[in-house]
Structure 1
Amino acid sequence: MADALILPIGLVTAGLVAARLGVLTIAAWQQATYRREQDRLTLEVMRERIAEAKKRRNENALAWNGLRKFVVKRKVLEAEGICSFYLVAHDRKPLPPFKPGQYLTFRLSIPGRDKPVIRCYSLSDSPRTDQYRVSIKRVGSPPDQPTAPPGLVSNYFHEQLSEGDILDVQAPRGHFFLDVEQERPVVLIAGGVGVTPLLSMVNAVVATRTQRDVLFFYGVRNSREHAFKDTLQEIVSHHSNIRLVVAYSNPQPEDERNEGRDFHHSGRVDIRLIKSYLDSTNYQFYICGPPAMMETLNKQLLRWGVAEHDIHTEAFGPATVSKAFASPQAPQSARASDSAATAISITFAKSGKTCSWSPSAGNLLDLAEAHGVRIDSGCRAGNCGTCVVAVKSGKIQYVTEHGAELEEGTCLTCIAAPEGNIVLDA
């Protein structure tokens, strides 16, 4: 009887030992597999970091400081009053890639002007190492002031620049750009020639071959001002993740038969139109166009519930900066009423002039010019860096983000307001 029991007990014990060994073997195999996977992931991360560091080194090697000579390779009429200029480096060396949405700064010697003129224009194509493209609208005389002079620089580009001419250009810069590494859906809203940086963004999405959802609103007056129509329609026809909504605010009789094909909406791009295409506010919004359009849409999007950090706008010249002084995000000193503001003293050390600043005086560059203090200027929107001066004492605040690189202890007077009494080296 005892012998009969010993055999089953032995078998059970052997089974338990075998099971235990099996469990230990599986655990060891799982641990080894886990370690191999961790080693693989660590190696991948290291490779990605090395590749990113190499990419940054290559980009830095291609970048340049100051001015670089560029040749106008091609000049192409895109629509009524809008012309594209294809630029290649005069030294034929590769160009550094830029972030889609950034701009170039031009230093122009225009006949009849006693000093160079500075202007910034958005890059309108995806990043390339062989050429850059800017697309510029000719600015005419204001409709209500037909005798006023037209835009100096835009007309210089349109009327006097030819293929083969040489330009002085600063490297791409700017804080208004699309991060192509992200996958979050994006809404692009363009008004008129404000389409240029947003076209660069959508071209970059196409170039990276991602499936990122893009909804592109584009408002123009009519077909005559509808730039890049074929380009955008071609993109949409080949990429299901990109949708295009074109609005004509003043369609002509000949446009009406093309509604639904060339354009989709009669009227302006407004919050009602945008909401009709979106089921939520969980998007990143990029807006570029006339100041009034950007200001209105910014307020409407915030009121709708879009997070402030998800709304990105491009400063389009001095008019945008002027509006920024009155915005809720402006420094308190810039928003205070003249009657409530404590008198702030601004001393221009080199000129030997001291004057009082109040919000109605505008930015520090405006104040200097009003009192005969000469400070060179260019874009007047915080981008080109021409108006930079040293701050000898005191503090300033900016009413909008700037794109220029600054040394410590200096300021861009075109977008600066004082926090208190200051002394400027001007």
Structure 2
Amino acid sequence: MKLLNVSAGKIQTVEIGGEKVRTAHVKMPRPEPWIITPDGAEGDERASHPDKLYAFARTGYGHWQAQLGVAPGEWNDGFFGENLTFDGLDETDIRVGDEFMLGEDVRLFVSGARTPCIKLAWRLNQPRDFLKTFAASRHTGVYLGVLDPGTVKPGDRLERVVHDPGMPSIADVCDYVAGVQAPVELMRRLLAFERLSPTLRILLGARLNAAEAAERAGRHHWTGWRDFRIGRIVEETPEIRSVSLSPLDEGPLCLPQPGQFVSVRMADPSGDMIQRVWSLSSYAAGMDSYRLSIRRQQGPGSNWIHRAQAGDTVQLKAPAGSFVLDPGSYHPVVLVAAGIGITPLMAMLEAHLARENAPAPVHLIYGARRPGDAAFLGELLALAAARDDFTLTQVYSQADAGDWPRSRITAGIVKESVRDTYIALDGRRIPVPWYESDIYLCGPGDFCDALRDELVELGGQPGHIFSERFEAAGMAPGEIEEAEVRFVRSGTAAHWSARSGETLLDLAERAGVAVSSDCRAGACLTCRTPVTGGKVTADLGDGSALLCIGRPATPIIELDC
């Protein structure tokens, strides 16, 4: 590996996605003498990345010119933001912790693989999702630290003097950056390396946190229904009541993923069972009870809860659902709640604030009609006063708030509320654009859909916007008395009768056809199934239907299950 050029750049402000961003990514070759100081290349500045040197290879230039259709010679050395340009680098052979001599005086160590950011996509005129392509390419270059400074010159060779084959290669680390799950013990070994790139430490620390959380969530999981007793009851607002539920068998509880729901079953006065799905509204690393926070509505389920007393019993299935906080992300977190949509976001908020050394803050934008309708408001205000990594924005449709006149939540309010967000890196707060956040929306379906579209129009990243619609899917009334239901993939059929009261999920289970399901109430979408013939009452408008609440709407239907 032979040194060809040394480049440096100054911090400047550029516009990326409509936002002003400080960067020193734009670098140009330097005239000799080339001096490597303890802080990196002489004359070079860094706006955010704390790694001292970045090395890239002409072979990498060739790879990306071919991939992106760029003519040879169009890019100068330094175009990828590197300080050191070599003729070649073998990312599959270079390992984290390797030490190299460059020329006679300079000793360097490998601190990690490049973790690409939006500035690279901007520089290469590529969409933001190009960053995943770059990370997975294994043509990324390497971050280096300086052990011994000195002067280097063209043609100096990079000679390895310390090598640990037990450490992962740069190519392996590139895979981890791109999303491949690294073995837990290997991640711990990497994190134990004191000279690891601070940027990589944040990313791998988040991934390790996710792996450990998944391991904890799998413990004490139960199947079927389990009896619980209502304990503490709190009237959060005139319309919202929280109940604490503890298992009658006093056994351990599985740790839910923050944002999940539970299916709840309770007996009405006639003995008939009512089944509903409600989000868990709290989270802690160790839980001996679950909290549900339920708004009074017209249905029998919420009315049952609002009449219940301490000591009453219900049945629960284990927590389920995919609308969950990503514990493996290192991006700022933005929670946007409309009304009772606050419930799963409270669990997400508590989970994020419980993370040790969380690399980014959390923002909550909470909309309600008036302050008196906002559940947990006292708790949230106290948290915002006590934590500098949590900000609360209140939005009221029928009253003025401290930050905004009466309004509903808009994309503009979300963008403005997180304008000063950041990532904590190497003891500094590095400003990042609002659209680099992970955004979680929860509320009525039309609210989530409209706000998501508005955020994307303003520059938000679709892959970083997640939502939960707080409404069950619609179920058109059915008029069919009898139907033949064909389960195509299973090669079986069954007769359905309106008199039986069966849903299509009930019928499938009776016929021995396996269908995944969680809530059985039309909320979680787990039982969504393609309809290949005929019509079903719980049609989702995309060629599929929910079997848990669906019934035949034509005499013959065919289901892809």
| Fold similarity call, TM over 0.5 | yes
CA distance in 2, matches of 1:400, 1:117: 27
The verdict on how the C-alpha distance between 1:33 and 1:59 changes in structure 2, with shifts beyond 3 A counting, is: same
**Paired residue for 2:163?**
34
**Paired residue for 2:524?**
383
Q: Does 1:118 align with 2:253?
A: no
| Structure 1 runs not aligned, ≥5 long | 1-22, 140-149, 326-345, 356-367, 402-409
More helix by share: 1
Aligned length: 332
1:31-70 CA-to-partner distances (Å, cap 9, x unmatched) read 674328739x999417689999887666434000010111
CA distance in 2, matches of 1:282, 1:153: 39
**Paired residue for 2:391?**
243
1:412 counterpart (525, 532, 547): 547
**Paired residue for 2:448?**
294
Q: Does 1:305 align with 2:459?
A: yes
SS of 1:38 mapped into structure 2 = coil
Displacement of 1:208 in angstroms is 1.2
Q: Does 1:231 align with 2:382?
A: no
1:242-266 CA-to-partner distances (Å, cap 9, x unmatched) read 2110011112xxxx6xx53xx6542
Q: Does 1:276 align with 2:406?
A: no
**Paired residue for 1:222?**
370
CA distance in 2, matches of 1:110, 1:46: 51
**Paired residue for 1:105?**
263
CA distance in 2, matches of 1:298, 1:415: 28
CA distance in 1, matches of 2:365, 2:210: 33
CA distance in 1, matches of 2:184, 2:463: 35
Displacement of 1:354 in angstroms is 6.0
Displacement of 1:275 in angstroms is 2.7
| Structure 2 runs not aligned, ≥5 long | 1-103, 109-158, 174-182, 190-206, 420-432, 486-495, 506-518
Displacement of 1:353 in angstroms is 2.4
CA distance in 1, matches of 2:451, 2:208: 42
CA contact (8 A) 1:389 1:413 kept: no
Alignment of 1:30-179 (within 5 A): 33-35=162-164, 38=167, 44-45=185-186, 59-112=217-270, 115-127=272-284, 128-139=286-297, 150-159=298-307, 161-179=308-326
CA distance in 2, matches of 1:82, 1:73: 16
Displacement of 1:422 in angstroms is 3.4
CA distance in 2, matches of 1:57, 1:79: 36
CA contact (8 A) 1:380 1:415 kept: no
The verdict on how the C-alpha distance between 1:272 and 1:32 changes in structure 2, with shifts beyond 3 A counting, is: closer
Displacement of 1:137 in angstroms is 0.8
Bigger drift between 74-83 and 209-218 goes to 209-218
What do you get for the CA RMSD once the two structures are aligned?
Answer: 4.5
CA contact (8 A) 1:382 1:415 kept: no
Higher Cα radius of gyration: 1
The verdict on how the C-alpha distance between 1:57 and 1:241 changes in structure 2, with shifts beyond 3 A counting, is: closer
CA contact (8 A) 2:238 2:373 kept: yes
Structure with greater contact order relative to length (CA < 8 Å, sep ≥ 6):
1
The verdict on how the C-alpha distance between 1:250 and 1:392 changes in structure 2, with shifts beyond 3 A counting, is: closer
Q: Does 1:205 align with 2:362?
A: no
SS of 1:202 mapped into structure 2 = helix
SS of 1:175 mapped into structure 2 = coil
Bigger drift between 195-204 and 266-275 goes to 266-275
CA contact (8 A) 1:101 1:178 kept: yes
Q: TM-score, normalised by structure 2?
A: 0.50
SS of 1:87 mapped into structure 2 = strand
SS of 1:168 mapped into structure 2 = strand
Q: What code does the residue aligned with 1:198 have? A: L
CA distance in 1, matches of 2:255, 2:437: 26
More strand by share: 2
The verdict on how the C-alpha distance between 1:384 and 1:162 changes in structure 2, with shifts beyond 3 A counting, is: farther
2:501 counterpart (371, 374, 384): 374
CA distance in 1, matches of 2:263, 2:534: 30
